[in-house]
Amino acid sequence: MELLRLKCPSCGAQLPPRAPTGTISCDYCQSEFQASQVRSATTVAGQPMDAKALAKAIVAAQQELAAQGQAHAYAHVEHARKSAGRLAWIFFGVTLVASLIPMFLLREPEVSVSQATQIAGVAEVPAIPELAQQAAAGPRVTWDSVGGPPQLIDWGDSQGFLGRTREIRNGDQLYFDAFDADTVKRKWRIGPLGTYGQGYRHTHAQVLGERVVVSDHQAKLYIHNAGDGELLKQHNLSDRVKQLCVPKDSNGHTLWVGQVDERSHMLDTKTGELAEAPRPESCPKHRHLRKPKLDVPKVDGFDAERVHRDGDIAVAAGTKSPGTAYPRAVGFDQATKKVLWDQEIAAVDRATVRENSNKAEGLADGRFISIYGSGQDFWHLTALDAATGARLWDTQLRPVFAVDRVDEVVVSGSYVFVTRTSSLEVFAAKTGKLLGTVGAETYDK
């Protein structure tokens, strides 16, 4: 099978030589794609390949892979047939012996070859195409952090969260899945919403009270019930959606929708009405939220990078400065700017802490929760009391057998969501206990 140097269709990086089959994962941006989505490739020797040559190489590789799968399936069937034959002879022998047992013993009924094969399970052996289908792996679901952070859903008697996922082995289709936060089990699903290549920039969702609003790459806008995912209304737009935003003055059921063609609307999620409206001042020009202003007290030896506010207390996250940029946090009173505490974020030996590794954190319900790295491979999630700086708990994340990157930490009063390379981990905010994981990841034992 010919090996090729493929270029990632998402970031353009040239990847190491590999066969152009199956799902390909980029070593640089972690996006996953099929070989047919690649727009540029070269041979191992560096010879550029045009579209025709690339398509021919992909087809040849797929045919070779299919032939290998068929041969593997035939081998399974042949093994099953031989096993059935052996079992048939065994049952025949048992039947013969039973017929010679003295008459006062009950005579065992004869067992035919067809019955023997049924007992052996041969009658349940599927045809070769079915065997090949079973040999193929099922859908591989990954968490798609490009679709934004998880959003909480209030179901009254329980809480859930919504996020974008991808089924890599099912055409790389996009979905929005709702999960129960305590069990991390999927409750309902919206989709498929097109492939990742088609819709990764325009497939958005926003939870707003009892409604979930979703857009897709076909310039459609959907309103769903947050309780069960039921579709309530659909709008056909003039162009794809580039941004969904809840204005600060929203009444709890209005959402601003910005399109690629610069048209914009205000959506009433209760009535389903859509009316043209300008962008509210509280909605940024881009879908990424504005960074908060760093109105923090000056602390010697501390470089503030981000600030989080909750009630009267605020926490600034940053690093030690000057010197090695060890993760550090400072708590202060928002009104008076009085410093309440100054604490290193890491709970392990400072010599093992990766500098500048606290790039994601959050503050809610009196807890400041941050990520940090230790050694070459490990990540920790730690919680500090927002009022005193006292450490509440420290949890080491499971090592991922892959390129491991922490994209975001989202904190609520009850849960902490950590988005990693292609998965989401859910922790209890009070204890740091792992509740579950969304997304297929292989972990070291």
Token pair for residue 1?
A: 């099978």
- Domains assigned to the chain: 4-49 (no CATH), 62-135 (no CATH), 203-289 (2.40.10.480), 302-438 (2.40.128.630)
Q: 128 by DSSP, 3-state: which? A: helix
What is residue 93's predicted lDDT score, i.e. its pLDDT? Answer: 54
Over residues 309-328, the pLDDT tens digits come to 999 999 999 999 999 999 99
Q: How far apart are CA 189 and CA 206, in angstroms?
A: 14
Residue 203 has pLDDT above 60, yes or no: yes
Q: How far apart are CA 47 and CA 3, in angstroms?
A: 12
Which of 58-62, 184-188, 274-278, 332-336 shows the lowest mean pLDDT across its residues? Answer: 58-62
Over residues 19-29, the pLDDT tens digits come to 888 788 776 66
- Binned at pLDDT 50, 70 and 90, residue 366 comes out as very high
Backbone angles phi, psi at 93, to 5 degrees: -65, -40
What is residue 134's predicted lDDT score, i.e. its pLDDT? Answer: 32
Backbone angles phi, psi at 365, to 5 degrees: 55, 40
Q: Is 417 left (phi over 0), alpha (psi -120 to 50) or beta?
A: beta
Q: How far apart are CA 290 and CA 280, in angstroms?
A: 14
**Residue 224, CA distances (Å) to 153, 168, 206, 233 in order:** 13, 25, 10, 7
